[in-house]
Amino acid sequence: MMKNLKENSLKKKNLKQYVVFAIGEIFFIIAGILIALSINNWNENRISLKKADVYIDKIKKDLAVDTTYFEYAIKRIDIKIDYKKSLFNPDSIAKFTTSQIQGIVTSGTNNISINTNAYNKMVESGIVTLPEKKFLFEKLDNYYAVFNTYLMEFNKWEEKSVDKDMDFWIYQNHYELEYLDSIPKVANPKENRESLLKVVTSKAGKNYVNMSILREKRMKEIYTKARDGAKKLIKRIDSIQNTK
C-alpha cells in the first residue's frame, strides 16, 4: 500500500512538473511570436516612414514648381492690368499699335492649376495613416483638397468670362483683327484703327475692359492665396526634415 502511495505521489509530481514545463514552453513560444510580430511591425513602420519621406520630398518639389508658376502668373496679371488700364488714357493708347490694342483686350485666360501627382500617389499608397506624420498629412490634405477645387472652379469661371469677351471683341464686324496674319486684310489700316478705338472707348467697350480688370484682380487674389499656402507647406516640411 505504501508502495502504491509513493508511486501515485511520484506520478502527480511528474504531472505537475510537466504541466508547469508545458505552460512555460507555451509562454515562451507566445512571447517569441509577440516579439517577432513587434519587430516585424517596427520594421514595416520604418519602411513606411521612409516611403512617406520620399513622397513628401516629391511633394515639396511639386510645391516649389507650383510656387514658381503662381509667381509668374501674378506678374503676368499685373502687366495685363496695367495695359488694360492704359486703354483709358489717350496718351498711352496712342503709343500702342492697332494689333497691340487688340491683343490687350483679348488677352485670354491664365488657367494655372496645382500639380497633384506626387500627393495622389502618396494617398494611393496608404501611408497617410501613419500616426507619426498625421499632422503634416492633415496640412497637405487640406491644401490639396481646398486649392485644387478652388482653382478648378475659378479657372472654369474665368474661361466662361473670357469666352464672353471673345464674343464681344473678336466675333464682330466693326474692325479686322490685325494680329492674325493668316489671311489678307481688307480694311484700310487707318479706318480699321479708328473703328477699333471707337469700340474700345464706347460704354460697352469700357464695361468689358473694366470687368476684365476685375476678373484679373480676382484671379490674382486666388493665385496669391495658393502660392502663399504652398510656401507655408514648404517651410513646414523643411522644419520637419531639419529636426530629424
Rounded Cα distance between 190 and 192, Å, is 5
Rounded Cα distance between 58 and 9, Å, is 73
The answer to whether position 232 is within a domain reads yes
The answer to whether position 133 is within a domain reads yes
The answer to whether position 6 is within a domain reads no
The answer to whether position 20 is within a domain reads yes
What is the tens place of the pLDDT at every residue in 130-169?
777 788 888 999 999 989 898 999 999 999 999 999 999 9
The answer to whether position 95 is within a domain reads yes
Q: Residues 134, 201: contact at Cβ < 8 Å?
A: no
Q: Residues 192, 98: contact at Cβ < 8 Å?
A: yes
The answer to whether position 7 is within a domain reads no
Task: Please state whether the predicted TM-score (pTM) of the whole model is above 0.85.
Answer: no
Q: How confident is the model at residue 178 (pLDDT cuts 50, 70, 90)?
A: confident
Domain membership of residue 41 as a residue range? 12-242
The pLDDT of residue 48 is: 66
The answer to whether position 4 is within a domain reads no
The pLDDT of residue 23 is: 59
Of the candidates 223, 201, 198, the residue with the CA atom closest to the CA atom of residue 109: 223
Of these ranges, 42-56, 97-111, 193-207, the one predicted with the greatest mean pLDDT is 193-207
- pLDDT greater than 90 at residue 180: no
The answer to whether position 140 is within a domain reads yes
What is the tens place of the pLDDT at every residue in 72-81?
999 999 999 9
Count of domains observed in the chain: 1
